[in-house]
Structure 1
Protein backbone atom coordinates (compact mmCIF):
# COMPACT_ATOMS: atom_id res chain seq x y z
CA UNK A 1 0.00 0.00 0.00
CA UNK A 2 2.80 2.44 0.88
CA UNK A 3 4.34 1.98 -2.57
CA UNK A 4 1.00 2.69 -4.20
CA UNK A 5 0.66 5.91 -2.19
CA UNK A 6 4.20 6.94 -3.09
CA UNK A 7 3.57 6.32 -6.79
CA UNK A 8 0.38 8.38 -6.70
CA UNK A 9 2.17 11.16 -4.82
CA UNK A 10 4.98 11.15 -7.39
CA UNK A 11 2.50 11.37 -10.25
CA UNK A 12 0.73 14.28 -8.60
CA UNK A 13 3.99 16.10 -7.94
CA UNK A 14 5.54 15.41 -11.35
CA UNK A 15 4.13 18.39 -13.35
CA UNK A 16 5.14 20.87 -10.63
CA UNK A 17 8.57 19.24 -10.27
CA UNK A 18 9.18 19.37 -14.02
CA UNK A 19 8.15 23.04 -14.10
CA UNK A 20 10.46 23.82 -11.17
CA UNK A 21 13.45 22.32 -12.97
CA UNK A 22 12.84 23.92 -16.35
CA UNK A 23 15.53 26.39 -17.44
CA UNK A 24 15.23 29.90 -16.02
CA UNK A 25 15.41 32.79 -18.50
CA UNK A 26 18.59 34.56 -17.45
CA UNK A 27 21.11 37.15 -18.67
CA UNK A 28 23.34 34.30 -19.78
CA UNK A 29 20.67 32.81 -22.02
CA UNK A 30 19.91 36.28 -23.39
CA UNK A 31 23.52 36.80 -24.44
CA UNK A 32 23.08 35.50 -27.99
CA UNK A 33 19.67 37.06 -28.60
CA UNK A 34 19.22 39.72 -31.29
CA UNK A 35 17.91 43.12 -30.32
CA UNK A 36 18.03 44.83 -26.96
CA UNK A 37 16.78 44.50 -23.37
CA UNK A 38 15.35 46.93 -20.86
CA UNK A 39 14.21 46.61 -17.25
CA UNK A 40 10.63 47.88 -17.12
CA UNK A 41 8.19 48.13 -14.22
CA UNK A 42 7.10 44.48 -14.52
CA UNK A 43 10.43 42.96 -15.55
CA UNK A 44 12.97 42.69 -18.36
CA UNK A 45 11.57 43.07 -21.89
CA UNK A 46 13.36 41.94 -25.05
CA UNK A 47 12.77 44.15 -28.11
CA UNK A 48 14.12 44.94 -31.57
CA UNK A 49 13.75 48.34 -33.24
CA UNK A 50 14.67 48.45 -36.93
CA UNK A 51 14.41 50.94 -39.77
CA UNK A 52 15.05 54.62 -40.21
CA UNK A 53 14.35 56.83 -37.20
CA UNK A 54 12.42 59.21 -39.46
CA UNK A 55 10.17 56.49 -40.94
CA UNK A 56 6.58 55.82 -39.86
CA UNK A 57 6.57 53.38 -36.93
CA UNK A 58 4.71 50.08 -36.76
CA UNK A 59 4.45 48.27 -33.41
CA UNK A 60 3.99 44.50 -33.80
CA UNK A 61 2.42 42.34 -31.06
CA UNK A 62 2.81 38.56 -31.28
CA UNK A 63 0.47 35.84 -30.07
CA UNK A 64 -0.06 33.40 -27.23
CA UNK A 65 2.81 30.96 -27.80
CA UNK A 66 5.07 32.27 -30.59
CA UNK A 67 7.43 35.09 -29.53
CA UNK A 68 8.68 38.04 -31.57
CA UNK A 69 10.65 35.89 -34.03
CA UNK A 70 7.28 35.28 -35.69
CA UNK A 71 7.69 38.73 -37.29
CA UNK A 72 11.10 38.20 -38.89
CA UNK A 73 10.05 37.82 -42.53
CA UNK A 74 7.33 40.45 -42.30
CA UNK A 75 9.69 42.83 -40.49
CA UNK A 76 12.23 42.64 -43.31
CA UNK A 77 9.52 43.24 -45.88
CA UNK A 78 8.06 46.25 -44.07
CA UNK A 79 11.52 47.72 -43.42
CA UNK A 80 12.13 47.34 -47.16
CA UNK A 81 8.98 49.34 -47.87
CA UNK A 82 10.30 52.19 -45.70
CA UNK A 83 8.64 51.55 -42.32
CA UNK A 84 10.31 51.47 -38.92
CA UNK A 85 9.32 48.41 -36.83
CA UNK A 86 9.23 47.74 -33.12
CA UNK A 87 8.84 44.07 -32.18
CA UNK A 88 9.06 42.77 -28.63
CA UNK A 89 8.53 39.63 -26.55
CA UNK A 90 5.45 39.64 -24.36
CA UNK A 91 6.12 38.72 -20.73
CA UNK A 92 6.30 34.96 -20.30
CA UNK A 93 7.60 34.37 -23.83
CA UNK A 94 10.83 34.58 -25.75
CA UNK A 95 13.63 36.38 -23.93
CA UNK A 96 11.41 38.54 -21.70
CA UNK A 97 10.85 37.94 -17.98
CA UNK A 98 8.11 35.72 -16.54
CA UNK A 99 6.34 37.81 -13.90
CA UNK A 100 3.52 36.26 -11.89
CA UNK A 101 -0.02 37.58 -11.86
CA UNK A 102 -2.94 38.03 -14.25
CA UNK A 103 -2.20 38.74 -17.90
CA UNK A 104 -5.15 40.96 -18.67
CA UNK A 105 -5.54 44.08 -20.82
CA UNK A 106 -4.03 46.34 -18.16
CA UNK A 107 -1.02 44.02 -17.79
CA UNK A 108 -0.20 44.05 -21.51
CA UNK A 109 -0.98 47.77 -21.87
CA UNK A 110 1.52 48.47 -19.09
CA UNK A 111 4.32 46.53 -20.78
CA UNK A 112 3.91 48.36 -24.09
CA UNK A 113 3.39 51.75 -22.43
CA UNK A 114 6.57 51.24 -20.39
CA UNK A 115 8.54 50.21 -23.48
CA UNK A 116 7.37 53.19 -25.52
CA UNK A 117 8.26 55.53 -22.65
CA UNK A 118 11.74 54.01 -22.45
CA UNK A 119 12.22 54.52 -26.19
CA UNK A 120 10.81 58.07 -25.93
CA UNK A 121 8.20 57.30 -28.58
CA UNK A 122 5.37 59.79 -28.15
CA UNK A 123 4.17 60.24 -31.75
CA UNK A 124 1.22 58.17 -33.03
CA UNK A 125 2.09 54.86 -34.71
CA UNK A 126 0.51 51.96 -36.55
CA UNK A 127 -0.07 48.59 -34.85
CA UNK A 128 -0.16 45.01 -36.13
CA UNK A 129 -1.48 42.29 -33.82
CA UNK A 130 -1.31 38.58 -34.54
CA UNK A 131 -3.66 36.07 -32.84
CA UNK A 132 -3.69 36.99 -29.13
CA UNK A 133 -1.61 40.00 -30.15
CA UNK A 134 -4.65 41.22 -32.05
CA UNK A 135 -6.60 41.27 -28.79
CA UNK A 136 -3.72 43.06 -27.05
CA UNK A 137 -3.38 45.63 -29.85
CA UNK A 138 -7.16 46.18 -29.84
CA UNK A 139 -7.11 46.77 -26.10
CA UNK A 140 -4.21 49.21 -26.36
CA UNK A 141 -5.81 51.15 -29.23
CA UNK A 142 -9.13 51.37 -27.37
CA UNK A 143 -7.37 52.58 -24.22
CA UNK A 144 -5.10 55.09 -26.00
CA UNK A 145 -7.00 56.13 -29.15
CA UNK A 146 -4.81 59.16 -29.84
CA UNK A 147 -1.65 57.03 -29.99
CA UNK A 148 -2.66 54.56 -32.72
CA UNK A 149 -3.05 55.68 -36.33
CA UNK A 150 -4.11 52.45 -38.04
CA UNK A 151 -4.60 48.88 -36.81
CA UNK A 152 -3.97 45.61 -38.66
CA UNK A 153 -5.36 42.39 -37.16
CA UNK A 154 -3.95 39.06 -38.34
CA UNK A 155 -6.06 36.02 -37.41
CA UNK A 156 -7.04 38.01 -34.36
CA UNK A 157 -8.37 36.66 -31.09
CA UNK A 158 -10.95 38.57 -29.09
CA UNK A 159 -14.13 37.85 -31.04
CA UNK A 160 -15.28 35.09 -28.69
CA UNK A 161 -14.23 33.49 -25.43
CA UNK A 162 -12.16 30.36 -25.98
CA UNK A 163 -14.60 27.95 -24.41
CA UNK A 164 -14.16 24.18 -24.09
CA UNK A 165 -15.03 21.89 -21.17
CA UNK A 166 -11.34 21.14 -20.55
CA UNK A 167 -10.32 24.79 -20.66
CA UNK A 168 -13.18 25.80 -18.39
CA UNK A 169 -12.08 23.14 -15.91
CA UNK A 170 -8.48 24.40 -16.03
CA UNK A 171 -9.58 28.02 -15.59
CA UNK A 172 -11.94 27.36 -12.70
CA UNK A 173 -10.18 24.73 -10.58
CA UNK A 174 -7.28 26.66 -9.06
CA UNK A 175 -4.29 24.46 -8.22
CA UNK A 176 -5.94 21.43 -9.81
CA UNK A 177 -6.41 23.37 -13.03
CA UNK A 178 -2.78 24.50 -12.94
CA UNK A 179 -1.67 20.88 -12.43
CA UNK A 180 -3.66 19.78 -15.46
CA UNK A 181 -2.29 22.67 -17.54
CA UNK A 182 1.30 21.79 -16.64
CA UNK A 183 0.67 18.12 -17.34
CA UNK A 184 -1.31 18.36 -20.58
CA UNK A 185 -0.32 21.55 -22.37
CA UNK A 186 3.12 20.46 -23.65
CA UNK A 187 1.48 17.54 -25.46
CA UNK A 188 -1.22 19.79 -26.89
CA UNK A 189 1.27 22.41 -28.10
CA UNK A 190 3.51 19.84 -29.78
CA UNK A 191 0.46 18.26 -31.44
CA UNK A 192 -0.58 21.66 -32.80
CA UNK A 193 2.93 22.32 -34.16
CA UNK A 194 2.97 18.97 -35.95
CA UNK A 195 -0.51 19.53 -37.37
CA UNK A 196 0.52 22.91 -38.80
CA UNK A 197 3.62 21.38 -40.36
CA UNK A 198 1.45 18.77 -42.05
CA UNK A 199 -0.93 21.36 -43.51
CA UNK A 200 1.48 23.97 -44.84
CA UNK A 201 5.12 24.86 -45.32
CA UNK A 202 6.56 26.13 -42.05
CA UNK A 203 10.22 27.07 -41.78
CA UNK A 204 12.05 24.86 -39.26
CA UNK A 205 13.16 27.84 -37.16
CA UNK A 206 9.51 28.72 -36.48
CA UNK A 207 8.47 25.25 -35.35
CA UNK A 208 11.67 24.73 -33.36
CA UNK A 209 11.30 28.14 -31.74
CA UNK A 210 7.72 27.42 -30.76
CA UNK A 211 8.64 24.10 -29.16
CA UNK A 212 11.69 25.62 -27.46
CA UNK A 213 9.40 27.77 -25.32
CA UNK A 214 8.53 24.63 -23.35
CA UNK A 215 12.13 24.48 -22.09
CA UNK A 216 11.69 27.56 -19.93
CA UNK A 217 10.16 28.00 -16.53
CA UNK A 218 7.14 30.29 -16.53
CA UNK A 219 6.02 29.79 -20.12
CA UNK A 220 3.10 27.44 -19.43
CA UNK A 221 1.89 29.50 -16.42
CA UNK A 222 2.02 32.59 -18.69
CA UNK A 223 -0.16 30.85 -21.28
CA UNK A 224 -2.63 29.94 -18.54
CA UNK A 225 -2.59 33.50 -17.18
CA UNK A 226 -3.42 34.84 -20.65
CA UNK A 227 -6.24 32.32 -21.10
CA UNK A 228 -7.65 33.50 -17.78
CA UNK A 229 -6.96 37.15 -18.64
CA UNK A 230 -6.93 38.82 -22.07
CA UNK A 231 -8.49 35.75 -23.75
CA UNK A 232 -11.23 35.18 -21.19
CA UNK A 233 -13.87 37.44 -22.76
CA UNK A 234 -14.93 38.87 -26.12
CA UNK A 235 -13.65 42.40 -26.79
CA UNK A 236 -16.97 43.83 -27.90
CA UNK A 237 -16.59 47.09 -26.01
CA UNK A 238 -13.07 47.66 -27.28
CA UNK A 239 -14.00 47.11 -30.92
CA UNK A 240 -17.03 49.35 -30.63
CA UNK A 241 -14.76 52.02 -29.14
CA UNK A 242 -12.47 51.75 -32.17
CA UNK A 243 -15.44 52.42 -34.42
CA UNK A 244 -16.53 55.42 -32.35
CA UNK A 245 -13.00 56.77 -32.61
CA UNK A 246 -12.97 56.19 -36.40
CA UNK A 247 -9.74 54.19 -36.24
CA UNK A 248 -9.02 52.53 -39.61
CA UNK A 249 -8.82 48.74 -39.13
CA UNK A 250 -7.77 45.99 -41.54
CA UNK A 251 -8.54 42.38 -40.52
CA UNK A 252 -6.86 39.50 -42.35
CA UNK A 253 -8.11 35.93 -41.91
CA UNK A 254 -6.87 32.52 -43.00
CA UNK A 255 -9.48 30.58 -44.96
CA UNK A 256 -8.26 27.29 -43.42
CA UNK A 257 -7.57 28.61 -39.92
CA UNK A 258 -8.73 26.11 -37.29
CA UNK A 259 -7.57 28.23 -34.33
CA UNK A 260 -9.35 31.49 -35.18
CA UNK A 261 -11.79 30.55 -37.97
CA UNK A 262 -12.57 33.08 -40.68
CA UNK A 263 -16.18 33.02 -39.45
CA UNK A 264 -14.99 35.28 -36.60
CA UNK A 265 -15.10 38.12 -39.11
CA UNK A 266 -18.89 38.06 -38.85
CA UNK A 267 -18.71 38.90 -35.16
CA UNK A 268 -16.17 41.66 -35.74
CA UNK A 269 -18.31 43.08 -38.56
CA UNK A 270 -21.29 43.21 -36.22
CA UNK A 271 -19.31 45.31 -33.73
CA UNK A 272 -17.52 47.51 -36.25
CA UNK A 273 -18.93 47.65 -39.77
CA UNK A 274 -16.09 49.94 -40.88
CA UNK A 275 -13.42 47.23 -40.63
CA UNK A 276 -11.90 46.12 -43.93
CA UNK A 277 -11.85 42.30 -44.14
CA UNK A 278 -9.68 40.17 -46.41
CA UNK A 279 -9.49 36.37 -46.45
CA UNK A 280 -6.25 34.71 -47.56
CA UNK A 281 -7.00 31.47 -49.36
CA UNK A 282 -5.19 28.26 -48.42
CA UNK A 283 -3.89 29.91 -45.24
CA UNK A 284 -4.11 28.51 -41.74
CA UNK A 285 -3.34 30.34 -38.52
CA UNK A 286 0.31 31.15 -39.23
CA UNK A 287 -0.31 34.13 -41.52
CA UNK A 288 2.87 36.13 -40.72
CA UNK A 289 5.22 33.27 -41.55
CA UNK A 290 3.32 30.99 -43.96
CA UNK A 291 1.82 33.68 -46.23
CA UNK A 292 4.18 36.59 -45.70
CA UNK A 293 3.97 37.97 -49.25
CA UNK A 294 0.17 38.07 -49.27
CA UNK A 295 0.05 39.69 -45.82
CA UNK A 296 2.73 42.21 -46.80
CA UNK A 297 0.78 43.16 -49.92
CA UNK A 298 -2.42 43.75 -47.95
CA UNK A 299 -0.65 45.81 -45.28
CA UNK A 300 1.19 47.91 -47.88
CA UNK A 301 -2.10 48.72 -49.59
CA UNK A 302 -3.76 49.66 -46.27
CA UNK A 303 -1.12 51.85 -44.65
CA UNK A 304 -0.16 55.26 -46.06
CA UNK A 305 3.01 54.89 -48.14
CA UNK A 306 6.03 56.08 -46.14
CA UNK A 307 7.31 58.36 -48.91
CA UNK A 308 3.95 60.18 -49.06
CA UNK A 309 3.15 60.05 -45.37
CA UNK A 310 3.40 63.30 -43.41
CA UNK A 311 4.04 61.22 -40.25
CA UNK A 312 1.17 62.12 -38.03
CA UNK A 313 -1.79 62.80 -40.28
CA UNK A 314 -3.39 60.32 -42.67
CA UNK A 315 -4.31 61.66 -46.06
Structure 2
Protein backbone atom coordinates (compact mmCIF):
# COMPACT_ATOMS: atom_id res chain seq x y z
CA UNK A 1 0.00 0.00 0.00
CA UNK A 2 1.32 3.43 -0.91
CA UNK A 3 2.05 5.87 1.90
CA UNK A 4 -0.69 8.47 2.41
CA UNK A 5 -1.74 11.27 4.76
CA UNK A 6 -5.42 11.88 5.56
CA UNK A 7 -7.14 15.17 6.21
CA UNK A 8 -7.42 14.56 9.96
CA UNK A 9 -3.68 14.05 10.36
CA UNK A 10 -2.74 17.65 11.11
CA UNK A 11 0.46 17.18 13.14
CA UNK A 12 4.01 16.17 12.22
CA UNK A 13 6.59 14.29 14.25
CA UNK A 14 9.88 16.16 14.08
CA UNK A 15 12.83 16.69 16.40
CA UNK A 16 11.36 20.05 17.37
CA UNK A 17 7.81 18.82 17.94
CA UNK A 18 9.06 15.94 20.07
CA UNK A 19 10.69 18.39 22.49
CA UNK A 20 7.24 19.13 23.87
CA UNK A 21 6.13 15.50 24.05
CA UNK A 22 6.35 13.03 26.88
CA UNK A 23 8.89 10.22 26.82
CA UNK A 24 12.33 9.52 25.43
CA UNK A 25 13.37 9.07 21.82
CA UNK A 26 16.06 7.07 20.09
CA UNK A 27 17.06 6.69 16.44
CA UNK A 28 17.02 3.05 15.35
CA UNK A 29 17.67 1.58 11.91
CA UNK A 30 14.07 1.99 10.75
CA UNK A 31 13.33 5.32 12.44
CA UNK A 32 12.84 7.13 15.73
CA UNK A 33 11.29 5.09 18.55
CA UNK A 34 9.29 6.60 21.41
CA UNK A 35 10.06 4.80 24.69
CA UNK A 36 10.17 5.04 28.49
CA UNK A 37 12.60 3.08 30.68
CA UNK A 38 11.56 3.70 34.27
CA UNK A 39 11.41 2.17 37.72
CA UNK A 40 13.94 0.81 40.22
CA UNK A 41 17.36 0.67 38.56
CA UNK A 42 18.20 -2.64 40.22
CA UNK A 43 14.94 -4.30 39.24
CA UNK A 44 14.51 -6.94 36.57
CA UNK A 45 13.26 -5.42 33.32
CA UNK A 46 9.75 -6.04 32.02
CA UNK A 47 9.49 -5.31 28.28
CA UNK A 48 5.97 -4.68 26.98
CA UNK A 49 4.61 -5.03 23.45
CA UNK A 50 1.20 -3.55 22.71
CA UNK A 51 -1.70 -3.92 20.32
CA UNK A 52 -2.72 -2.57 16.95
CA UNK A 53 -3.37 1.07 17.84
CA UNK A 54 -2.02 1.75 21.31
CA UNK A 55 0.75 4.18 22.33
CA UNK A 56 2.97 3.47 25.32
CA UNK A 57 0.64 5.45 27.63
CA UNK A 58 -1.63 2.42 27.58
CA UNK A 59 0.71 0.73 30.05
CA UNK A 60 0.80 3.51 32.68
CA UNK A 61 -1.38 1.78 35.27
CA UNK A 62 0.51 -1.51 35.06
CA UNK A 63 3.86 0.30 35.03
CA UNK A 64 3.00 2.01 38.35
CA UNK A 65 1.98 -1.29 39.91
CA UNK A 66 5.18 -3.03 38.78
CA UNK A 67 7.42 -0.21 39.99
CA UNK A 68 5.83 -0.44 43.42
CA UNK A 69 6.80 -4.12 43.49
CA UNK A 70 10.43 -3.59 42.53
CA UNK A 71 10.37 -4.20 38.77
CA UNK A 72 11.80 -1.91 36.10
CA UNK A 73 9.79 -1.39 32.91
CA UNK A 74 10.52 -0.65 29.28
CA UNK A 75 7.54 0.48 27.23
CA UNK A 76 7.61 1.76 23.69
CA UNK A 77 5.25 2.84 20.96
CA UNK A 78 5.52 0.54 17.96
CA UNK A 79 6.35 2.25 14.70
CA UNK A 80 3.27 4.10 13.47
CA UNK A 81 1.88 4.47 17.02
CA UNK A 82 2.32 7.04 19.76
CA UNK A 83 5.23 9.32 18.99
CA UNK A 84 7.32 6.76 17.08
CA UNK A 85 8.04 7.40 13.42
CA UNK A 86 5.49 6.55 10.75
CA UNK A 87 7.97 4.64 8.67
CA UNK A 88 7.37 3.93 4.99
CA UNK A 89 7.98 0.22 5.29
CA UNK A 90 6.19 -3.11 5.52
CA UNK A 91 4.45 -3.18 8.91
CA UNK A 92 4.83 -6.79 9.98
CA UNK A 93 6.29 -8.90 12.79
CA UNK A 94 9.77 -8.55 11.34
CA UNK A 95 9.64 -4.76 11.65
CA UNK A 96 8.22 -4.74 15.19
CA UNK A 97 10.53 -7.51 16.42
CA UNK A 98 13.56 -5.70 15.03
CA UNK A 99 12.40 -2.54 16.80
CA UNK A 100 12.28 -4.30 20.18
CA UNK A 101 15.63 -6.03 19.63
CA UNK A 102 17.41 -2.85 18.60
CA UNK A 103 15.84 -0.87 21.43
CA UNK A 104 16.89 -3.31 24.16
CA UNK A 105 20.35 -3.58 22.62
CA UNK A 106 20.91 0.17 22.36
CA UNK A 107 19.74 0.66 25.95
CA UNK A 108 22.18 -1.99 27.18
CA UNK A 109 19.52 -4.32 28.54
CA UNK A 110 20.45 -7.58 26.85
CA UNK A 111 22.73 -8.80 29.66
CA UNK A 112 19.95 -8.80 32.28
CA UNK A 113 16.97 -11.07 32.74
CA UNK A 114 14.11 -9.77 30.64
CA UNK A 115 10.45 -10.51 31.22
CA UNK A 116 8.44 -10.10 28.04
CA UNK A 117 4.75 -9.13 28.05
CA UNK A 118 2.61 -9.03 24.92
CA UNK A 119 -1.05 -8.19 24.56
CA UNK A 120 -3.32 -8.65 21.52
CA UNK A 121 -1.15 -7.96 18.42
CA UNK A 122 1.79 -7.50 20.76
CA UNK A 123 1.42 -11.13 21.79
CA UNK A 124 2.25 -12.17 18.21
CA UNK A 125 5.24 -9.83 18.17
CA UNK A 126 6.37 -11.12 21.56
CA UNK A 127 6.20 -14.72 20.45
CA UNK A 128 8.23 -13.89 17.34
CA UNK A 129 10.78 -12.04 19.49
CA UNK A 130 10.99 -14.95 21.94
CA UNK A 131 11.77 -17.39 19.14
CA UNK A 132 14.59 -15.21 17.78
CA UNK A 133 16.07 -14.15 21.12
CA UNK A 134 15.18 -17.05 23.36
CA UNK A 135 18.32 -16.84 25.49
CA UNK A 136 17.50 -13.28 26.58
CA UNK A 137 13.91 -13.98 27.62
CA UNK A 138 13.40 -15.16 31.18
CA UNK A 139 9.60 -15.32 31.12
CA UNK A 140 6.84 -14.68 28.62
CA UNK A 141 3.41 -13.32 29.55
CA UNK A 142 0.67 -13.44 26.93
CA UNK A 143 -2.52 -11.42 27.50
CA UNK A 144 -5.63 -11.77 25.34
CA UNK A 145 -3.62 -12.71 22.26
CA UNK A 146 -4.68 -12.17 18.68
CA UNK A 147 -4.08 -14.92 16.14
CA UNK A 148 -6.36 -17.80 17.10
CA UNK A 149 -9.47 -16.89 15.13
CA UNK A 150 -9.97 -18.96 11.99
CA UNK A 151 -9.47 -17.20 8.63
CA UNK A 152 -12.71 -16.38 6.82
CA UNK A 153 -13.21 -15.60 3.15
CA UNK A 154 -14.99 -12.34 3.98
CA UNK A 155 -12.70 -11.25 6.82
CA UNK A 156 -11.40 -7.65 6.71
CA UNK A 157 -7.81 -8.88 6.57
CA UNK A 158 -8.47 -10.77 3.34
CA UNK A 159 -10.23 -7.80 1.76
CA UNK A 160 -7.39 -5.48 2.71
CA UNK A 161 -4.80 -7.57 0.91
CA UNK A 162 -5.58 -5.53 -2.19
CA UNK A 163 -3.41 -2.40 -2.15
CA UNK A 164 -6.04 -0.42 -4.02
CA UNK A 165 -8.93 -1.49 -1.79
CA UNK A 166 -6.89 -1.06 1.40
CA UNK A 167 -5.95 2.48 0.43
CA UNK A 168 -9.54 3.44 -0.40
CA UNK A 169 -10.96 1.95 2.81
CA UNK A 170 -8.24 3.50 4.98
CA UNK A 171 -8.66 6.98 3.52
CA UNK A 172 -12.45 7.06 3.47
CA UNK A 173 -13.48 5.04 6.50
CA UNK A 174 -10.30 4.27 8.41
CA UNK A 175 -10.87 6.55 11.37
CA UNK A 176 -14.50 5.49 11.70
CA UNK A 177 -13.54 1.80 11.65
CA UNK A 178 -10.86 2.29 14.30
CA UNK A 179 -13.23 4.20 16.57
CA UNK A 180 -15.69 1.32 16.31
CA UNK A 181 -12.91 -1.16 17.13
CA UNK A 182 -11.84 0.83 20.19
CA UNK A 183 -15.40 0.76 21.50
CA UNK A 184 -15.22 -3.03 21.94
CA UNK A 185 -11.96 -3.13 23.90
CA UNK A 186 -12.99 -2.30 27.47
CA UNK A 187 -16.07 -2.86 29.63
CA UNK A 188 -16.04 0.43 31.57
CA UNK A 189 -17.44 3.32 29.47
CA UNK A 190 -15.27 5.87 31.27
CA UNK A 191 -12.12 3.87 30.65
CA UNK A 192 -13.26 3.33 27.09
CA UNK A 193 -13.61 7.07 26.55
CA UNK A 194 -10.12 7.69 27.94
CA UNK A 195 -8.71 4.96 25.70
CA UNK A 196 -10.36 6.45 22.62
CA UNK A 197 -9.04 9.91 23.46
CA UNK A 198 -5.54 8.51 23.99
CA UNK A 199 -5.46 6.66 20.68
CA UNK A 200 -7.15 9.35 18.59
CA UNK A 201 -4.68 11.93 19.91
CA UNK A 202 -1.74 9.97 18.52
CA UNK A 203 -3.59 9.29 15.25
CA UNK A 204 -3.42 13.00 14.44
CA UNK A 205 0.21 12.60 13.35
CA UNK A 206 0.81 12.24 9.62
CA UNK A 207 0.94 8.66 8.36
CA UNK A 208 -0.94 7.09 11.29
CA UNK A 209 -3.80 5.50 9.36
CA UNK A 210 -1.36 4.31 6.72
CA UNK A 211 0.64 2.54 9.45
CA UNK A 212 -2.41 0.85 11.00
CA UNK A 213 -3.88 -0.35 7.73
CA UNK A 214 -0.53 -1.48 6.35
CA UNK A 215 -0.23 -3.57 9.53
CA UNK A 216 -3.65 -5.09 8.84
CA UNK A 217 -2.39 -5.97 5.37
CA UNK A 218 0.90 -7.57 6.34
CA UNK A 219 0.60 -8.94 9.88
CA UNK A 220 -1.86 -11.87 9.94
CA UNK A 221 -4.29 -11.74 12.86
CA UNK A 222 -5.92 -15.11 12.19
CA UNK A 223 -4.78 -18.69 11.71
CA UNK A 224 -1.59 -18.35 13.75
CA UNK A 225 -1.81 -21.69 15.56
CA UNK A 226 1.68 -22.67 14.37
CA UNK A 227 3.22 -19.59 15.98
CA UNK A 228 1.56 -20.49 19.29
CA UNK A 229 2.67 -24.11 18.94
CA UNK A 230 6.29 -23.14 18.20
CA UNK A 231 6.29 -20.78 21.17
CA UNK A 232 5.04 -23.53 23.44
CA UNK A 233 7.94 -25.70 22.31
CA UNK A 234 10.59 -23.08 23.23
CA UNK A 235 10.59 -24.04 26.90
CA UNK A 236 10.22 -20.45 28.12
CA UNK A 237 8.19 -20.19 31.35
CA UNK A 238 4.90 -18.74 30.13
CA UNK A 239 1.95 -17.06 31.85
CA UNK A 240 -1.37 -16.79 29.98
CA UNK A 241 -3.91 -14.16 31.07
CA UNK A 242 -7.35 -13.44 29.62
CA UNK A 243 -10.33 -11.23 30.39
CA UNK A 244 -13.56 -13.17 30.85
CA UNK A 245 -15.56 -10.59 28.87
CA UNK A 246 -13.09 -10.09 26.03
CA UNK A 247 -15.10 -9.23 22.90
CA UNK A 248 -12.07 -8.90 20.60
CA UNK A 249 -10.26 -12.16 21.32
CA UNK A 250 -13.10 -14.13 22.96
CA UNK A 251 -12.53 -16.44 25.90
CA UNK A 252 -13.65 -19.37 23.75
CA UNK A 253 -10.07 -19.29 22.37
CA UNK A 254 -8.54 -19.72 25.83
CA UNK A 255 -8.43 -23.51 25.82
CA UNK A 256 -6.80 -23.54 22.37
CA UNK A 257 -4.15 -21.10 23.57
CA UNK A 258 -3.49 -23.28 26.62
CA UNK A 259 -3.13 -26.41 24.51
CA UNK A 260 -0.69 -24.75 22.10
CA UNK A 261 1.36 -22.57 24.46
CA UNK A 262 1.49 -25.04 27.35
CA UNK A 263 1.81 -22.23 29.90
CA UNK A 264 3.14 -22.96 33.37
CA UNK A 265 0.36 -20.77 34.73
CA UNK A 266 -2.91 -19.44 33.37
CA UNK A 267 -5.58 -17.19 34.80
CA UNK A 268 -8.87 -15.64 33.72
CA UNK A 269 -9.54 -12.15 35.10
CA UNK A 270 -13.17 -11.66 36.05
CA UNK A 271 -15.22 -8.70 34.83
CA UNK A 272 -12.51 -7.72 32.36
CA UNK A 273 -12.55 -7.02 28.63
CA UNK A 274 -9.82 -7.22 26.00
CA UNK A 275 -7.32 -4.81 27.53
CA UNK A 276 -6.54 -6.35 30.91
CA UNK A 277 -3.28 -4.38 31.52
CA UNK A 278 -5.23 -1.16 30.98
CA UNK A 279 -8.50 -2.15 32.66
CA UNK A 280 -7.21 -4.22 35.57
CA UNK A 281 -3.55 -3.30 36.11
CA UNK A 282 -3.47 -4.42 39.73
CA UNK A 283 -4.82 -7.86 38.91
CA UNK A 284 -2.37 -8.26 36.04
CA UNK A 285 0.49 -7.12 38.30
CA UNK A 286 -0.53 -9.63 40.98
CA UNK A 287 -0.32 -12.47 38.51
CA UNK A 288 2.80 -11.23 36.73
CA UNK A 289 4.88 -10.46 39.80
CA UNK A 290 4.20 -13.77 41.52
CA UNK A 291 5.05 -15.57 38.30
CA UNK A 292 8.28 -13.78 37.42
CA UNK A 293 9.59 -13.64 40.99
CA UNK A 294 9.63 -17.43 41.06
CA UNK A 295 11.47 -17.61 37.74
CA UNK A 296 13.90 -14.70 37.73
CA UNK A 297 17.03 -15.49 35.78
CA UNK A 298 18.24 -16.02 32.28
CA UNK A 299 17.48 -19.11 30.20
CA UNK A 300 20.33 -20.99 28.60
CA UNK A 301 20.24 -20.81 24.83
TM-score for the superposition, normalised by structure 2 = 0.89
Q: CA deviation at 1:144?
A: 1.4
Q: CA deviation at 1:112?
A: 1.0
Question: Structure 2 unaligned runs (5+)?
Answer: none
| CA RMSD, 1 decimal | 2.5
Whether the 8 Å contact between 1:200 and 1:290 is mirrored in structure 2 is no
Relative distance call for 1:220 and 1:302 in structure 2 (3 A) is same
After TM superposition, the structure 1 stretch with the greater mean CA deviation from structure 2, 75-84 or 204-213, is: 204-213
Distance in 1, Cα, partners of 2:276 & 2:5: 36
Q: Which consecutive segments of 4 or more residues in structure 1 shift more than 6 A?
A: none
Distance in 2, Cα, partners of 1:39 & 1:17: 23
After TM superposition, the structure 1 stretch with the greater mean CA deviation from structure 2, 53-62 or 200-209, is: 200-209
* Structure 2 residue corresponding to 1:117, chosen from 88, 98, 105: 105
Relative distance call for 1:201 and 1:295 in structure 2 (3 A) is farther
Distance in 2, Cα, partners of 1:190 & 1:106: 27
1:297 corresponds to 2:286: yes
Look up the match of 1:71.
Answer: 59
Q: CA deviation at 1:29?
A: 2.9
Relative distance call for 1:149 and 1:234 in structure 2 (3 A) is farther
Whether the 8 Å contact between 1:52 and 1:83 is mirrored in structure 2 is yes
Q: CA deviation at 1:53?
A: 2.5
Distance in 1, Cα, partners of 2:227 & 2:184: 32
Distance in 2, Cα, partners of 1:264 & 1:214: 30
Look up the match of 1:272.
Answer: 261
Distance in 2, Cα, partners of 1:38 & 1:113: 13
Look up the match of 1:24.
Answer: 12
TM-score for the superposition, normalised by structure 1 = 0.85
1:243 corresponds to 2:228: no
Look up the match of 1:8.
Answer: none
Look up the match of 1:13.
Answer: none
Distance in 2, Cα, partners of 1:64 & 1:168: 13
Whether the 8 Å contact between 1:128 and 1:137 is mirrored in structure 2 is yes
Q: CA deviation at 1:116?
A: 1.3
* Structure 1 residue corresponding to 2:135, chosen from 140, 146, 162: 146
* Structure 1 residue corresponding to 2:84, chosen from 78, 93, 96: 96
Q: CA deviation at 1:225?
A: 2.0
Q: CA deviation at 1:81?
A: 0.3
Distance in 1, Cα, partners of 2:253 & 2:139: 20
Whether the 8 Å contact between 1:102 and 1:228 is mirrored in structure 2 is no
Relative distance call for 1:169 and 1:203 in structure 2 (3 A) is closer
Between the two proteins, the alignment pairs up a number of residues equal to 296
1:156 corresponds to 2:145: yes
Partner of 2:139, secondary structure, is strand
After TM superposition, the structure 1 stretch with the greater mean CA deviation from structure 2, 80-89 or 124-133, is: 124-133
From the two aligned structures, give the one with the greater helix fraction: 1
